[in-house]
Structure 1
């Protein structure tokens, strides 16, 4: 029954999001205990950790021969991260002036990743060669991030406990299980409602897998740490475009559906460019956040009509 599949979807997606949350927290504690700098723990582990739902659901989709869900989820998540996550963060933000100039390296890489995904799929598929190139580009960005000082997260030194590695392993197991049932339920729901799976992936799944970014970013913005929120969104989007698609392509060739190629790519590229213009002067306001959210609602509307 459709109701049962919907309940399975809600529960499994909740498991994915919460598992990613526990994984991020335990990995953060382990990283600090091992002597990693707060920046590396926050900028690298935080952004990659909050993108784990996209990664695990994408790999599960490829293994189940529904690679169109991967592309739709990445495109939808990146658009959601900028328009909804960052938009909501700006509405809750206590700080409007950015200290770090993200326009020098971070935003160009973000915009490059958006265009790279678009051009890579002009031929209709995304294979191993494209995947290796994207992973290499991601590796270069991570090296840059590790050697920069663009984000600082205040954190007291912690001691590693036995429960942290256990939580880390268990969260990965539940991530795998939750992702498999999320994809299966989405396929059944889309069939029952006669809605294309890529539309569901670009909207419903994208929103669900972006919840970690949304929670982390709003929390940071309310504490007056808007740069953490922006860094999380930019880092997550770069990891989605280069890492999620890159790793998924190693499992199987990725295909793209019509709605994603027509509307999804356009919104992802446009939102990335708009973010570049907005962040360039380092001054952000609640009005910008409101406009972002309105654009997100327009994105949802276009994906469903």
Structure 2
């Protein structure tokens, strides 16, 4: 029993390493190839840099639905957003002292994040009767399509109104030399993401059964926290490069993508089951974290003490999730 448990822990950690490294290779080489082919900064910024950091979450979610563990999807999305705000933003603020928040983020983007979060919560709450006669919290295909439609509206808004953000991305991009190695690493990255995601889900299901803990709880913590590492890397790199607006923009873009597309895309293929721990603990914490993010943004700066508070709130969230109080 102990040997099997240790085996799956090792598999879980190794799979995450493969998943994240594969994601890194995929993003870096897709960005280089995109720049070399003359793609617009918007496409590179929103589709490659912004969505690219959510590739681990998306891969894990698709593997989950085809493994019959649909409860992982929403738990992963909710947990990833909580980790993005409380851990990624928190650590970035603590390390970089203060993060300046631009006015366009205060007046447009932060309210948009709050609105999309509220819309997502509205979709999640409320039980529905399944074909087997049981009542569950679910997301059906119609609701998934609604979430995707909301994201497409957001993407259209970004295309027409985010010129300043696009120019900042453009200023960071150099035109690299691309050869066969970039293509090899790109496809190698795709392979690593797929294999890593499959093993992460397999290990999650195995550990859930051995520990007698809901799959949703492991997903909202371990998978979500692990798959938020790319966002942490990008945000720290942007903040240290003197581009704090990109650090927050990365968190914002990834968070909107998570609650709309990370749930919406898998939801087209099957009904998504939502565990009660996600609804009654994860959702309230998600709303609270989003509100705190908005309030901090209104003050024009996310201070170091704000970041420390975010990290403490995440620790309290974990304690509540595991029934420590």
TM-score w.r.t. length of structure 1: 0.95
1:54 is aligned to 57
Distance in 1 separating the partners of 2:70 and 2:237: 33
Stretch of structure 1 that moved more, 53-62 or 112-121? 112-121
Whole-Å separation in 2 of the counterparts to 1:142 and 1:160: 28
Contact 1:95 1:221 in 2 (8 A): no
Q: Tell me, what secondary structure is at the counterpart of 2:105? A: coil
Q: CA deviation at 1:39?
A: 5.0
Find the residue that maps to 1:125 and give its secondary structure.
strand
Which of 129, 136, 141 is the matching residue for 1:128?
141
Hey, what's the Cα distance between the residues in 2 that align with 1:242 and 1:59?
A: 14
State how many pairs are aligned: 305
Contact 2:25/2:188 (8 A) holds in 1: no
**2:130 aligned partner:** none
User: Which stretches of structure 1, 4 residues or more, deviate above 6 A after TM superposition?
Assistant: none
- Rounded Cα–Cα distance in structure 2 between residues aligned with 1:198 and 1:183: 12
Indicate whether 1:146 and 2:159 are aligned: yes
| Offset of residue 160 of structure 1 | 3.0
Is 1:33 the counterpart of 2:51? The answer is no
Question: Separation in 2 of the partners of 1:117 and 1:303?
Answer: 21
Q: Who is 2:206 aligned against?
A: 188
Task: Give the Cα separation in 2 of the matches to 1:64 and 1:150.
Answer: 42
Q: Distance in 2 between matches of 1:134 and 1:238?
A: 10
Which among 202, 220, 228 is matched to residue 238 of structure 2?
220
> For the residues of structure 2 that align with 1:112 and 1:98, how far apart are their CA atoms?
19
Aligned twin of 1:11:
14
Relative to structure 2, which stretch is displaced further, 65-74 or 157-166? 157-166
Distance 2:46 2:139 in 1: 28
Query: For residue 263 of structure 1, what is the aligned residue in structure 2?
Result: 281
* Greater Rg over alpha carbons, structure: 2
| Aligned partners of 2:21 and 2:192 also within 8 Å | no
Alignment of 1:53-202 (within 5 A): 53-93=56-96, 96-121=99-124, 122-123=126-127, 124-147=137-160, 148-151=162-165, 152-153=168-169, 154-202=172-220
* 1:117 CA displacement: 2.1
Superposed displacement of residue 94, structure 1:
6.0
Structure 1 vs Structure 2 CA RMSD = 1.6
Match of 2:133 in 1: none
1:194-222 CA distance string (max 9 Å, x none): 22111111111111110111111112212
Q: Quote the Cα distance in structure 1 between the aligned partners of 2:100 and 2:83.
A: 23
- How far residue 172 of structure 1 moved from its aligned partner, in angstroms, is 1.4
